[in-house]
């Protein structure tokens, strides 16, 4: 019984560390070529971020088991609807291992954003993903503006300000 309690405690601690609400805006490794980051759509097609050149991209890594993701995706969905005509795109990359819950979750919480998959974690590893959720704001030139690890209201307000500034830039 003691070993079961220890196992449960370790699992809860891992989820706590892996899924966070407090934002962290440190940057990924500077050698990362963001345009080469590859993701898979929900029907198996491969895509790179270079397809979004000329747009301001919010690349958000999320998972169906992540409580802050449940809060962030509907907000990002609203931003997509509002700011999409100005050249803003949200790409939500799920790190879930199973396909089925991803599509259902996306339809329920974020029907207007582009949902991709990173089930093997290749893109997350390439970008040095620190925790869930983590959003990367990428400018029209394809360069990283900022990384936001975690999600809360204050961080969301700051991120929106950065998005608006990026949209105002040529």
93-131 burial string, b = 16+ CB within 10 Å, else e?
A: bbbbeeeeebeebbeebbeebbbbbbeeeebbebbebbb
42-168, superfamily in CATH? Glutaredoxin (3.40.30.10)
Report residue 33's pLDDT band, with 50, 70 and 90 as the boundaries: confident
* Lateral strand order in the sheet of 46-48: 46-48, 38-41, 114-117, 88-94, 56-62, 134-138, 144-149
Where along the chain do its domains lie? 42-168
In terms of pLDDT, which residue wins out, 156 or 33?
156
Q: Integer distance in angstroms from the first to the last C-alpha of the chain?
A: 61
**For residue range 106-125, what is the model confidence (pLDDT) as tens digits?**
888 889 999 999 989 999 99
Identify the sign of the CA torsion 119, 121, 124, 129.
positive
**For residue range 61-95, what is the model confidence (pLDDT) as tens digits?**
999 999 998 889 999 999 999 999 999 999 999 99
**For residue range 140-169, what is the model confidence (pLDDT) as tens digits?**
999 999 999 999 999 999 999 999 999 999
């Amino acid at each position: 019984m003691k070993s079961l309690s220890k196992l449960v405690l370790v699992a809860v601690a891992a989820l706590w560390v892996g899924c966070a609400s407090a934002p962290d805006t440190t940057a990924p490794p500077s050698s990362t070529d963001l345009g080469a980051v590859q993701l898979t759509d929900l029907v198996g097609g491969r895509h790179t971020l270079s397809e979004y050149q000329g747009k301001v991209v919010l690349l958000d890594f999320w998972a169906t088991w992540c409580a802050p993701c449940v809060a962030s995706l509907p907000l990002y969905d609203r931003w997509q609807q509002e700011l999409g005509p100005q050249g803003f795109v949200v790409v939500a990359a799920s790190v879930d291992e199973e396909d089925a819950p991803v599509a259902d979750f996306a339809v329920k919480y974020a029907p207007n954003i582009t949902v991709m998959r990173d089930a093997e974690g290749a893109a997350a590893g390439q970008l040095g993903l620190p925790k869930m959720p983590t959003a990367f704001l990428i400018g029209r030139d394809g360069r990283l503006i900022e990384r936001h690890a975690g999600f809360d209201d204050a961080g969301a307000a700051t991120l929106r300000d950065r998005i608006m500034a990026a949209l105002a830039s040529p």
